[in-house]
Structure 1
C-alpha cells in the first residue's frame, strides 16, 4: 500500500467528555446521534489529548504495517456477512476512535481497544502502548478475510478499492476552508456504530460522529459492493451538519486524489513511467443538463476553479485513461484506480462545484480536491443536511447523446516544418461516442472554441481520426499575461446542437 501523506491526520480532533459520557449508554439511535452532535456544536471545542505521544510517534509507517489484525478476532456485526477488522494507531493515525456494534433493536456495545486483537513483532514500540488508546479506524473484508474493499482511516477519510480491486482516491466527510490562505481544518470521525444494513443488497450500515473546531455532524453510511448498475461499490451518505463557528468555505461530499502528470503535460516530471495519476479529470453534469470535462493540472501554485450551478446532477474525480500501456506500472496499477461519482439526492440548491489543485513533485501526496460549496453561508448555529451516493466506478456515467473526451494533449504551436512561433502552444482534444459514428468531413460538424485571458489562433480544425469513429479538435493559443488561459471547447452539428460534452481547461504556455 502506498503511503498517502494526508495532512488531515496531524490536525484531526477528538470527542468531548460530554460526548463520551453519552456514548456509554447501551441503547442508542440515530436520533440520539443527531442530538449528540447538535449539543456538542453548542459547547466549546476541546482539543484532543493524545497519551504517550512520544511513544506513538515511534510507530513509523513500516512498523505500523507489521502490526496485523488477528483473523480469528474478526467481527461480524449483528450476524452480517461483512467481516470487520480494526486498524492500529500509529505515527500518522494518532488519535483513537471509539467503535461500537449495534443490533436491530438499537442496542449498542462498545468494543474496547486491546493489543490482544493484533499480532506484532516482539520489539514493536506498540508493545509498550499504555491504556487509554482506541482503534485508528476499521475496514470491511471480503468473505474468508480476503482483501478489504472499504476502509475508514484518518480524520474523516474513507475509500474503497473500486471495481478492479485497487485503492486510489479517497472521500471524506467534510472539507473546511480547503485551498485558502488560512489553515485548513480537518474534523474527524471520533466514533463509529457498525450495524445491520438498512436495505437489501447492502453490506453494512455505519453511523459516525464528526467533531471539529468549527463543525460537528451525525453521518449515516450505507455500504454496498459490486453494484451491477454502477459496476462498482456504492456508499450512500446522509450528513447532518451543525456549525460550531462561522466557516468561510464549506465543502460538501469532498473527494481527494493525486495527479502528478499525464500525456497532456508529461514534461513536468522525469520519471520513467509515461503517466502517474489516480484521476485525470473532473466530470460535472450540471442541473441544466450540460456535461463538462476538465482535465486535471499540476499547477505551479495552488489553483481554485469554481463551476457555478444549481441542483447539480453529479460530479466526480475520474480516471478515464484505463490503458496499462499508458502507465507501465505493474506495482500499483494506476490503470485500475477507481473513479468516484457524487450523485446528489434531493435538491442541493445554488452553489458551485469547486476544484482545488495543489503543486506536487511526486506521487505520494494527494494534491487534488473537489467538492460542492453551498451558496448559503455557513454561520455559527446553522444546520445543514445533505444526502448523496458515492459511486466507485470505472468511469463516470456516459451520455447516450454526447461524445466524451478521451484524450487531451498539449505541445508546441505552429505547423510542422515551419519556424516554431514563440509563446504559442497547441491543444489537441479527442472525442469518442455514438454521436460521432458515421460522420465525415462533409457532415457539417463545427468546433466551438472560446477563451478568456488569452487568444485562440486560427486555424481551428475538427476532423475524424483515420481508421476510427473518433474526432480530433486542434487549435493554437497564447496567453496575454502570467495567468492561465481559460478555454472551453465542444463540437456542434449542422443544426447547431452540441454533439460532445464541453471540454474546459486552464492552460499555460509552458512548453519550451
Structure 2
C-alpha cells in the first residue's frame, strides 16, 4: 500500500549538505597518494575494558542524562580550514593504525566538521585511544590548521586497501559513512539513523562521538560506534568485509535509546542525489544526458512482491510511504551502467554503487519511506530512503534493529521476473496528428529471464492501476525489435486540477506477472509547465 504526502517548502539542511561535502573531501584525499614520511607512529592511551554490551550500557546511561554536545574548540581557526584547505592536509602512511588485516587513517578537523571524535583500537577485550598529534599529518606551511592545539582531535577515519593508495570506507561528518562498492566509485551515503527527515520541523543529526576498531573473523574489520544526539543515543556494531570486484558487506547491529519522542524515525537510511534521467530530461539544460547517483528505489516486500520505483525531482518535498510487514529488503540502486547515458568521465555516475538493506531481525510493521527534495544541481543530496516503524518512539524507549548492508553493483536478490530498464515520458498522442494538451505518454522498458524468448503471439498483456478519475489510454505491449526488451506504452490523462498521480504497472501473461511491479509517480503540473 502506498501513501504520498507533500510537505511545506523545505531544502537540504546545512548539516546534510556539509556532510556530503566532507565525504567528497574524502575522495579527493584518496586520489592523491600520501608521501611516506618519518614518524614515530601512533601513540595510544592506557587500556580500559571494552565490549559492545558495555558500549550499549553507556549509550543507555547517556540517554537518561541531558544532552551535552561535544564542545567546539577554536572555531575561528576551524573556520579558515575550508574545503580547499582541508583536502590539502594529508595523513602520513607511517602513522596508520593497523586493525587486523587492514590499516586505518584519520581525517583532520575543518570548518565542515568541527567536533572531534575519539578513536580507539580494541584487542583482547581492551580498548586504547589513539592520541591525536599534528605530526600524523602533512600540512602546507601556510595551512591554518597549524593554529590548532596539539590535542585538537580527529574528524573521522577511513580504512585503506592493501596498497595504501585508496580507501574503501570512510566515516566523516555526523553519523554518515559510505563505501565505494564493487566498481570502486564513491556515490551515495548511509547514516546510522534519520530523524524527522522531510518534515516541516527541523531535521536532527545525531553524531558518532566514539569509534572502537577491532579485527573481526576471516579478515573482517569491526567498527563499534557510540552515537549521541538531542533525542537519541545509540550503540552500533558493524562487521564489514571488502571483497575486490564484489564490493562490501556489513552486518550491523544497532541499539537505540530515546531521550525524547521522535515524529519520524528512519532506520538504515540511505542518502543519494537524483537530478534528472531519461524520465525527466526536460528538467535540465545541462549537456550530459543523465545526472544521478541512483535512479530508483527497489523493494522486496514481506509478501514477496518485487517493486521498482523510479526516482523523481519534484517541485516540492514529497514523501512516499510503502507499507509493509516482514520486509525482505530495500535499497537505492543505480541500474543504468551505460557510460554513454552519462558521458561524465570525471565522476563516473555509471560506476556509483547500489546499496541493499536486508533485515536480519524482525522489524515488524512499518513502511519504506522515500523523501524526494527539489534540486537544480548535482551538489545536493536530495533523496533519502529508510524504514519507518509503525509506532513512533517515545522518551525512554529502547529499540533494536539488525540488518545486512550490501554495497554492490547489483542487489543480491533472486528474481526470475524481468526488471525495469527504462522509464520514459513525453507528449501524448500519435505522431502526425494533433497532440492532446491533457495527455502525456509513458513508455516502460523491461528485460529479464521471464521475457527472454517470449513469442509476441503468446498474449503478454499490460496490467495498469490508476487512481479514480485518471484515464489510461491505449495501453499495449510489444517486443522492442532486435532485442529481448519488452515495452509497455500508454497515454495518461488526468483532470487539470490533479496534483500527483501514482500508478502501478507490470506485464503479465494469463494473469501471471512476467515483470516486477513498476510504481510511477507523476506531478502533472510540473510536466505541463516544462513542456
TM-score range, shorter-chain basis?
over 0.9
SS in 1 for 2:154: coil
Partner of 1:196: 215
Q: Which residue, out of 156, 160, 165, partners 1:137?
A: 156
Correspondence list, 1:83-94, <5 A = 83-94=103-114
Partner of 2:198: 179
Correspondence list, 1:276-295, <5 A = 276-295=291-310
User: Runs of 4 or more off by more than 4 Å in structure 1?
Assistant: none
SS in 2 for 1:37: helix
- After superposition, the C-alpha distances for 1:172-208 in whole angstroms (9 at most, x for unaligned) are 10000000000000000000001111x3242x11100
For the residues of structure 1 that align with 2:196 and 2:316, how far apart are their CA atoms? 17
Partner of 1:214: 231
1:261 offset after TM fit, Å? 0.3
Partner of 2:26: none
Change (3 A) 1:463 1:398: farther
Change (3 A) 1:266 1:107: same
- After superposition, the C-alpha distances for 1:395-427 in whole angstroms (9 at most, x for unaligned) are 223544211000110111111111011031111
Q: Which residue, out of 22, 37, 51, partners 1:29?
A: 51
Partner of 1:63: 85
For the residues of structure 2 that align with 1:149 and 1:452, how far apart are their CA atoms? 45
For the residues of structure 2 that align with 1:236 and 1:406, how far apart are their CA atoms? 30
Residues 1:159 and 2:159 are matched in the alignment: no
1:49 offset after TM fit, Å? 2.1
1:9 offset after TM fit, Å? 7.4
- Identify which range, 336-345 or 500-509, moves more after superposition: 500-509
Q: Which residue, out of 217, 221, 240, partners 1:223?
A: 240
Q: Which runs of 5+ in 1 are unaligned?
A: 12-22
For the residues of structure 2 that align with 1:211 and 1:461, how far apart are their CA atoms? 54
1:133 offset after TM fit, Å? 2.4
TM value normalised by structure 1: 0.93
- After superposition, the C-alpha distances for 1:306-325 in whole angstroms (9 at most, x for unaligned) are 00000110000000000000
- After superposition, the C-alpha distances for 1:125-180 in whole angstroms (9 at most, x for unaligned) are 10101245211100001013121010001000000011111000010100000000
For the residues of structure 2 that align with 1:251 and 1:72, how far apart are their CA atoms? 39
1:24 offset after TM fit, Å? 8.1
For the residues of structure 1 that align with 2:139 and 2:177, how far apart are their CA atoms? 25
For the residues of structure 2 that align with 1:5 and 1:101, how far apart are their CA atoms? 33
1:46 offset after TM fit, Å? 1.3
SS in 1 for 2:374: coil
1:440 offset after TM fit, Å? 2.6
SS in 2 for 1:397: coil
Q: Which residue, out of 26, 45, 50, partners 2:72?
A: 50
For the residues of structure 1 that align with 2:150 and 2:499, how far apart are their CA atoms? 54
Change (3 A) 1:397 1:455: farther
Q: Which residue, out of 367, 371, 393, partners 2:386?
A: 371
CA contact (8 A) 1:454 1:486 kept: no
For the residues of structure 1 that align with 2:377 and 2:190, how far apart are their CA atoms? 21
1:442 offset after TM fit, Å? 1.3
Partner of 1:324: 339
For the residues of structure 1 that align with 2:475 and 2:253, how far apart are their CA atoms? 46
CA contact (8 A) 2:133 2:151 kept: no
SS in 2 for 1:83: strand
Residues 1:119 and 2:167 are matched in the alignment: no
For the residues of structure 2 that align with 1:316 and 1:400, how far apart are their CA atoms? 15
SS in 2 for 1:452: coil
Partner of 1:82: 102
TM value normalised by structure 2: 0.90
- After superposition, the C-alpha distances for 1:355-405 in whole angstroms (9 at most, x for unaligned) are 000011100110000000111220011111111111001022354421100
Partner of 1:235: 250
For the residues of structure 2 that align with 1:399 and 1:461, how far apart are their CA atoms? 28
Partner of 1:128: 147
